[in-house]
């Protein structure tokens, strides 16, 4: 189903779960605690090599010495639409010796530029230095395999998660009369002599703390700001994160990467894989879902207006959700943004098409949002916002929250989503006709800074958690992970306009489903 992720790896980690003793976790019910336990289990990444000091690359995974091969079809017959293509990936080190262990972060896609087509592959780690990527053949094309991180880089990222969950920090300004002070805030705040202000949200239980200002009281907090990033890895470790060397580098085929696919005689694809395989694929640049609602294209202002007429669309989340607000206000000339004097990055935003009675709003999620100058009165948790939505058949909620969580223990994210899920359940209980769409994480461009604060390896875990937590609810998943991975445009935190247009088509197709022809 739509909640399966495209990456599969085996549960083998023997590392016991580490406690991050200066992070604050809200208490859980027994059911939630069990769910968290199972989630942590399912996230276990294969053990990765321990690193010598200083690091030399010699024995680390090298995309240039690694290859992939298209395996022949069993029985040696030709390929047909609807078949599964398997690619074997062998990873070797910088000295050309085959790796004997797994844990490399690898993604794969099949694409055909002429057809504007792309589909994500499912990667399986065999834990012996080789990996398989499996593709659904929907048209003929060529396979692309990318090493995102060598397994040795995962060793570093994993250590950062445990030892430096406060490497991104936050600040708040406190002010009363002419006195102002700034202190550091976080969910993971190292104990010092300085007392703490406890801003834990009483309704959701989401924890948040600042050091208490010296002169001022805790209730004089004015705003919330991104504070900065403490980079604290060994210089030699940075070798493991080099673009063009071992980070986001394509692995070359040992033979041909292309496969000739003969059409199925009826031209219809056999859908024998309803519960696994890709969520969809691109064809002629348009996203086609393989499960659930058929995606239609909404190419004109009048198509979109007709669909949105009489609707209230509430967007909640990080900047990847803000992109949807920006798309709607750009695409629809009569949807006028009301000037709330908000900061461009932060919001909140509201846009109205009076004649068509369309309302679109955006609000960013609460801490640990990495935006600057969020006024405390605008610092809201999505769960609390959802509790203020009446809901009903004219209400659409789109939410997405992931990219600001990757430096924290994953428990912080799990608990945040559990609290949002409770609010979604309450909303759907009181107004079952409300349409709720949840956007997943996506791959992004990686520099060293981006990697240490928001690597795809962290996003992959957020993505798995999100799919698991909302599974079984009457909500729709917007599969940003696959929609970014399958597309020919480069990975980007903020996917480029052609991808956003496709995401909007998915959203509108859920709002206005059309009978399949």
Choose the stretch contacting ligand NAG; rule: CB under 6 A; options: 76-84, 212-220, 386-394, 465-473: 76-84
Q: Work out which of 114, 284, 377, 517 binds ligand NAG, going by CB under 6 A.
A: 114
Kindly state the smallest distance separating residue 96's Cβ from ligand NAG, in Å: 11
Site membership for ligand NAG, residue 112 (CB under 6 A): yes
The SS3 of residue 163 is helix
Tokens of 28: 């859980």
Q: Give the nearer residue to ligand NAG in terms of CB position, either 11 or 270.
A: 270
Alpha helices in 410-447 (DSSP H): 410-430
Site membership for ligand NAG, residue 14 (CB under 6 A): no
Q: Give the nearer residue to ligand NAG in terms of CB position, either 95 or 254.
A: 254
Phi, then psi, of 67 in degrees rounded to 5: -140, 165
Residues 160-219 that bind ligand NAG (CB under 6 A): 198, 200, 202
Query: How many residues bind to ligand NAG according to rule CB under 6 A?
Result: 29
Site membership for ligand NAG, residue 140 (CB under 6 A): yes
Site membership for ligand NAG, residue 63 (CB under 6 A): no
Q: Give the nearer residue to ligand NAG in terms of CB position, either 126 or 426.
A: 126
Site membership for ligand NAG, residue 330 (CB under 6 A): no
Choose the stretch contacting ligand NAG; rule: CB under 6 A; options: 123-131, 219-227, 478-486, 496-504: 123-131
Residues 6+ apart with CB under 8 A from 444: 403, 450, 454, 456, 459, 491, 492, 493
Site membership for ligand NAG, residue 15 (CB under 6 A): no
- Give the residue among 107, 159, 152 at the shortest CA–CA distance from 444: 107
Q: Work out which of 46, 118, 129, 400 binds ligand NAG, going by CB under 6 A.
A: 129
Residues 6+ apart with CB under 8 A from 273: 136
How far apart (Å, rounded) are the C-alpha atoms in residues 465 and 413? 8
**Contact (CB, 8 A) for 483 and 507:** no
Site membership for ligand NAG, residue 141 (CB under 6 A): yes
**Contact (CB, 8 A) for 436 and 427:** yes
Distance of CA 100 to CAs 104, 131, 251, 433, Å?
11, 11, 18, 52
Q: Work out which of 5, 48, 122, 130 binds ligand NAG, going by CB under 6 A.
A: 130
Q: Provide the β-strand partners of residue 108.
A: 145
How far apart (Å, rounded) are the C-alpha atoms in residues 108 and 400? 24
Site membership for ligand NAG, residue 356 (CB under 6 A): no
Kindly state the smallest distance separating residue 134's Cβ from ligand NAG, in Å: 13
How far apart (Å, rounded) are the C-alpha atoms in residues 252 and 423? 47
Q: What is the 3-state secondary structure (H, E, C) of 16-32?
A: CCCCCCCECCCCCCHHH
Strands (E), 101-248: 105-112, 117-120, 122-125, 130-136, 141-149, 168-176, 179-186, 196-198, 209-211, 221-229
Kindly state the smallest distance separating residue 413's Cβ from ligand NAG, in Å: 19
How far apart (Å, rounded) are the C-alpha atoms in residues 404 and 401? 8
Kindly state the smallest distance separating residue 100's Cβ from ligand NAG, in Å: 8
302: left (phi over 0), alpha (psi -120 to 50) or beta: alpha
Tokens of 293: 């609602």
Site membership for ligand NAG, residue 357 (CB under 6 A): no
Alpha helices in 351-409 (DSSP H): 382-387
Choose the stretch contacting ligand NAG; rule: CB under 6 A; options: 122-130, 150-158, 339-347, 407-415: 122-130
Site membership for ligand NAG, residue 284 (CB under 6 A): no
H or E, element range at 507: helix 497-511
How far apart (Å, rounded) are the C-alpha atoms in residues 360 and 354? 11
Site membership for ligand NAG, residue 367 (CB under 6 A): no
Kindly state the smallest distance separating residue 19's Cβ from ligand NAG, in Å: 15
Q: Work out which of 59, 69, 242, 384 binds ligand NAG, going by CB under 6 A.
A: 69
The SS3 of residue 319 is helix
**Residue with smallest beta-carbon separation from ligand NAG:** 82
Kindly state the smallest distance separating residue 272's Cβ from ligand NAG, in Å: 7
Site membership for ligand NAG, residue 28 (CB under 6 A): no
Site membership for ligand NAG, residue 128 (CB under 6 A): yes
Kindly state the smallest distance separating residue 102's Cβ from ligand NAG, in Å: 9
Kindly state the smallest distance separating residue 246's Cβ from ligand NAG, in Å: 19
Contact map string, positions 81 to 110, toward ligand NAG, x by CB under 6 A: xxx----x-x-------x------------
Q: Work out which of 59, 84, 142, 345 binds ligand NAG, going by CB under 6 A.
A: 142
Residues 236-275 that bind ligand NAG (CB under 6 A): 254, 258, 264, 266, 268-270
Site membership for ligand NAG, residue 80 (CB under 6 A): yes
Phi, then psi, of 83 in degrees rounded to 5: -75, 165
- Give the residue among 494, 60, 379 at the shortest CA–CA distance from 239: 60
How far apart (Å, rounded) are the C-alpha atoms in residues 131 and 126? 5
Q: Work out which of 25, 101, 126, 238 binds ligand NAG, going by CB under 6 A.
A: 126
* Residues of this chain that bind ligand NAG (CB under 6 A): 67, 69, 80-83, 88, 90, 98, 112, 114-115, 126, 128-130, 140-142, 198, 200, 202, 254, 258, 264, 266, 268-270
């Amino acid at each position: 189903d739509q909640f399966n992720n495209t990456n599969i790896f085996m549960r083998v980690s023997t590392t016991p779960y580490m406690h991050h003793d200066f992070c604050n976790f809200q208490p859980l019910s027994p059911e939630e605690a069990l769910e968290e336990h199972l989630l942590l289990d399912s996230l276990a990444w294969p053990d990765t090599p321990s690193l010598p000091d200083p690091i030399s690359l010699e024995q680390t995974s090298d995309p240039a010495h690694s290859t992939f091969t298209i395996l022949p079809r069993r029985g040696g017959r030709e390929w047909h639409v609807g078949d599964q293509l398997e690619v074997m990936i062998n990873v070797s080190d910088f000295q050309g010796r085959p790796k004997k262990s797994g844990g490399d972060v690898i993604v794969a896609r099949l694409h055909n530029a002429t057809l504007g087509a792309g589909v994500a592959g499912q990667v399986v780690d065999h834990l012996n230095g080789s990996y398989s990527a499996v593709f659904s053949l929907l048209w003929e094309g060529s396979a692309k395999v990318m090493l995102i991180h060598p397994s040795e880089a995962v060793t570093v990222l994993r250590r950062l998660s445990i030892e430096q969950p406060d490497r991104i920090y936050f600040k708040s300004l406190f002010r009363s009369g002419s006195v102002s002070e700034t202190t550091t805030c976080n969910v993971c705040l190292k104990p010092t002599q300085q007392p703490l202000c406890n801003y834990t949200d009483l309704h959701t239980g989401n924890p948040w703390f600042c050091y208490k200002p010296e002169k001022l009281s805790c209730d004089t907090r004015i705003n919330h700001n991104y504070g900065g990033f403490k980079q604290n890895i060994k210089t030699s470790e940075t070798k493991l994160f080099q673009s063009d060397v071992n980070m986001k580098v394509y692995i070359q085929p040992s033979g041909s990467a292309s496969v000739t696919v003969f059409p199925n005689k009826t031209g219809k694809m056999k859908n024998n894989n309803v519960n696994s395989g890709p969520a969809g694929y691109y064809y002629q640049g348009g996203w086609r879902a393989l499960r659930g609602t058929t995606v239609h294209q909404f190419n004109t202002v009048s198509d979109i207006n007709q669909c949105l007429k009489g609707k209230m669309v509430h967007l909640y989340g990080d900047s990847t959700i803000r992109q949807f607000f920006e798309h709607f206000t750009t695409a629809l000339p009569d949807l006028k943004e009301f000037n709330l004097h908000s900061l461009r990055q932060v919001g909140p935003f509201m846009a109205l098409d009076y004649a068509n009675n369309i309302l679109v709003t955006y609000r960013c999620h609460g801490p640990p949002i990495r935006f600057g100058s969020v006024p405390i009165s605008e610092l809201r948790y999505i769960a609390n916002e959802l509790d203020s939505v009446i809901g009903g058949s004219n209400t659409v909620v789109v939410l997405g929250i992931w990219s600001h969580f990757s430096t924290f223990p994953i428990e912080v994210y799990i608990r945040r989503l559990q609290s949002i899920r409770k609010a979604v359940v309450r909303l759907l209980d009181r107004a079952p006709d409300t349409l709720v769409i949840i956007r997943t994480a996506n791959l992004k461009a990686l520099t060293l800074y981006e990697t240490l604060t928001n690597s795809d390896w962290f996003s992959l875990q957020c993505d798995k958690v999100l799919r698991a937590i909302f599974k079984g609810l009457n909500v729709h998943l917007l599969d940003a992970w696959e929609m970014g991975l399958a597309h020919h445009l480069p990975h980007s935190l903020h996917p480029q306009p052609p991808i956003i247009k496709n995401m909007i088509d998915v959203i509108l197709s859920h709002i206005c489903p059309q009978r399949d022809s």
